[in-house]
């Protein structure tokens, strides 16, 4: 494997969360140190940091960094306010709320302890969340690779590599692990409109790892499958319902429908922290709708749509569990019926 991408860490003095600004990739690899609550919020909202697991790790470190600045008498009121503020940033990815709530619950459980002791415990908890994700991503990569064969070519959508998680990633984990072991697995990379996470991020990660990848527009996937160029679809997930419905970057559902038509298996790879067993089906998952400028003008030198045209820009769609051949978590490969097997493992 190529040099690891460390997209989230604490600054050496622990006073800031250090991230790669993903909005500048692939043209510029730039690190940011973020300390203020508004900076943390903006980084999530503007996708400087993105990917459900990565957002959860980032927010956990953010809670710790903010907690270091609270006075003793204001500690818990500010903690509650800042946790709620961070959670409100993006509604679809469950990891954000889950990891912030984990940090908040720990602090509240220590309410009788000295404040420095609580802050120290928050730092350890954030680091533990990060370590857990690294271990989960490695296990997911191992399980996902078991579904592929040497010489396979897979379709990717959006970005589910180290930038979106930690180290191996989820949806890209099997590819990176295969490259590390000298196994020839190639990729067609959906550009992933309108934010181009595939073109900007996935292609960048795969090329760094020396993996043979070909960039295509999202609407070229159907022809690629018809011509037999693709043997599997690998995708990550931002929130999975208890029945196996998977919310992921907009366009994932369309790719899965096409794959079903051509008999190409769709594999959804995710850590258990992304499974929301309180959410019965995909219909219960809130879908974030983002600004229309991402369609009209972002990534263009000049606007490429008529001025004033209305836009609808949902950031995610839901892939029905019936379109998914297998779900891959750190506990292995899960086959249908998902409502039964997910509850057995995570209920």
* CATH assignment at residue 93: 1.20.120.420
151 and 133 part of one domain: no
Range of the domain at 31: 8-137
What does the DSSP 8-state code read for residue 201? I
123 in any annotated domain: yes
Q: Same domain for 165 and 124?
A: no
Q: What size, in residues, is the chain? A: 347
Asked if 154 and 240 sit in the same domain, the reply is yes
Write the CB contacts of 35 (distance below 8 Å, at least 6 apart in sequence).
15, 16, 17, 65
Does residue 81 fall inside a structural domain? yes
Same domain membership, residue 70 and residue 32: yes
Q: Which residues are catalytically annotated?
A: 238
In terms of domains, do 191 and 293 share one? yes
Residues 128 and 161 in one domain: no
Of 89, 105, 137, the last residue of a domain is 137
How is residue 268 written in tokens?
């959804």
Cβ neighbours around 74 below 10 Å, total = 11
- The alpha carbon dihedral of 279, 282, 284, 286 has a sign of positive
Judgement on whether residues 83 and 186 belong to the same structural domain of the protein: no
| Distances, alpha carbon 279 to alpha carbons 242, 284, 285, in Å | 6, 6, 7
Confidence category of residue 4, pLDDT binned at 50, 70, 90: low
Q: Which of 3-12, 35-44, 164-173, 278-287 has the lowest mean pLDDT?
A: 3-12
User: What confidence tens digit (pLDDT) does each residue in 55-84 have?
Assistant: 999 999 999 999 999 999 999 999 999 999
Q: What's the predicted TM-score (pTM) here?
A: 0.95
Look at residue 1 in the predicted model and tell me its pLDDT. 44
Domain boundary among 73, 106, 137: 137
**Tokens standing for 321?**
């569990």
Mean pLDDT rounded to a whole number for the chain: 96
**Axis crossing angle, helix 52-67 with helix 115-145, rounded to the nearest 10:** 170
d(CA 173, CA 133): 12
**Residue 248, phi then psi, degrees to nearest 5:** -145, 180
| Element holding 262 (H helix, E strand) | helix 252-262
Answer yes or no: is 1 within a domain.
no
3-state helix, strand, coil in the chain (%, to 5): 45, 15, 40
Same domain, 41 and 105: yes
Q: What is the pLDDT of residues 41-53, one digit of tens each?
A: 999 999 999 999 9
Q: How many structural domains are present in the chain?
A: 2
Q: What is the pLDDT of residue 347?
A: 85
Cα dist from 93 to 88, 98, 200, whole Å: 11, 9, 21
Q: Report if residue 2 sits inside a domain.
A: no
Q: Are 203 and 332 contained in the same domain?
A: yes
Q: Is residue 190 a part of any domain in this protein?
A: yes
With a cut of 80, say whether residue 2 has pLDDT above it. Answer: no
* Mean predicted confidence (pLDDT) in 276-300: 96
């Amino acid at each position: 494997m190529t040099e690891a991408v460390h997209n989230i860490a604490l600054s050496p003095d622990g006073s800031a969360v250090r991230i790669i600004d993903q909005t500048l990739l692939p043209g510029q690899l730039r690190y940011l140190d973020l300390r203020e609550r508004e900076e943390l919020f903006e980084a999530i909202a503007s996708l400087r940091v993105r990917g459900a697991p990565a957002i959860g790790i980032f927010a956990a470190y953010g809670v710790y960094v903010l907690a270091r600045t609270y006075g003793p008498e204001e500690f818990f009121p500010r903690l509650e306010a800042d946790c709620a503020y961070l959670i409100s940033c993006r509604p679809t990815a469950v990891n954000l709320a889950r990891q912030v709530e984990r940090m908040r619950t720990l602090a509240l459980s220590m309410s009788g302890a000295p404040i420095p002791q609580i802050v120290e415990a928050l730092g350890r908890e954030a680091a533990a969340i990060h370590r857990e994700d690294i271990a989960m991503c490695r296990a997911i990569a191992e399980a996902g690779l078991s579904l592929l064969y040497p010489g396979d070519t897979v379709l990717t959508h959006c970005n589910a590599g180290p930038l979106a998680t930690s180290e191996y990633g989820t949806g890209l984990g099997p590819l990176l692990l295969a490259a590390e072991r000298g196994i020839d697995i190639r990729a067609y990379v959906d550009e992933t409109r309108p934010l181009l996470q595939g073109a900007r991020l996935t292609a960048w990660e795969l090329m760094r790892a020396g993996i043979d990848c070909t960039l295509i527009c999202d609407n070229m996937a159907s022809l690629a499958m018809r011509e037999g160029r693709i043997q599997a679809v690998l995708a990550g997930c931002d929130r999975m319902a208890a029945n196996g419905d998977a919310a992921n970057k907009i366009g994932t559902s369309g790719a899965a429908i096409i794959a079903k038509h051509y008999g190409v298996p769709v594999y959804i790879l995710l850590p258990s922290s992304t499974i929301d067993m309180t959410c019965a089906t995909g219909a219960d998952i809130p879908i974030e709708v983002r600004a229309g400028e991402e369609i009209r003008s972002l990534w263009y030198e000049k606007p490429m749509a008529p001025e004033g045209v209305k836009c609808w820009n949902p950031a995610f769609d839901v892939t029905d569990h019936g379109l998914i051949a297998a779900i891959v978590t750190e506990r292995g490969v899960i086959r249908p019926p998902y409502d039964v097997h997910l509850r057995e493992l995570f209920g």
